[in-house]
Copies of this chain bind each other. A is one copy, B any other.
């Protein structure tokens, strides 16, 4: 179902979900589109339009039922569909993402990490093993590791200078999506989708005023 929802709406709905999770934690039962819009400094007609993309029983005169709307967004965005990922680069950022507890709530399961540093190979990070990158092809096709589920997502956290070489190694695996946290632009075939997290671009953009 998530396929039918435009990218920008997916991002906004995720933010609404953060707000609704907060409501649940604080036992707030209802929330209005105006309240959500106010927190995000956007128009409340936009909020109502986005919510209409999810199947929900709708508003009452005191606003949306927070728990119900939260569940509807989870369903629409597919939080319950587990997606498996490898982390390529078991340095500081890679290890931090492997330990990121929020990921699992959103359906992202880190299966294994890869690195070239002998000191890191065979260590565990949050219960996940670090393999040598040369084992990628073997691991990515080994059924028992991934419960017969293909791993199609790679989270790239190597140094910028190693990013392109690492991306090329991924072509041997079943990876279809590269979530690129490195300061490098990757050259990959068209059948691989790359999302550039571009941390420095975001930083420079939002601090420019």
Contacts and interface: CB of A to CB of B under 8 A. Distances in A.
> Does more than half of chain A's interface fall in helix, strand or loop, or is it mixed?
helix
Contacts of A164: 22
Interface residues of A, number: 62
- Most chain B beta-carbon neighbours within 10 Å: one of A15, A19, A207: A207
Interface in A26-84: 39-40, 77-78, 83
A92 interface: yes
A196 interface: yes
Copies of this chain in the oligomer: 2
- Most chain B beta-carbon neighbours within 10 Å: one of A2, A22, A25, A204: A204
A127 to B, nearest CB: 14
A142 interface: no
Contact of A207 (B95, B153, B203): B153
Interface stretch (A6-14, A116-124, A130-138, A143-151): A6-14
A36 B92 CA distance: 30
Q: What 9 A-B pairs have minimum CB-CB distances, sorted nearest first?
A: A14-B201, A96-B96, A195-B206, A11-B201, A92-B96, A106-B200, A7-B205, A10-B205, A92-B99
Given A21-B184, A78-B208, A197-B202, 9 more contacts: A3-B208, A13-B201, A18-B160, A22-B185, A91-B96, A102-B183, A179-B203, A179-B206, A195-B203
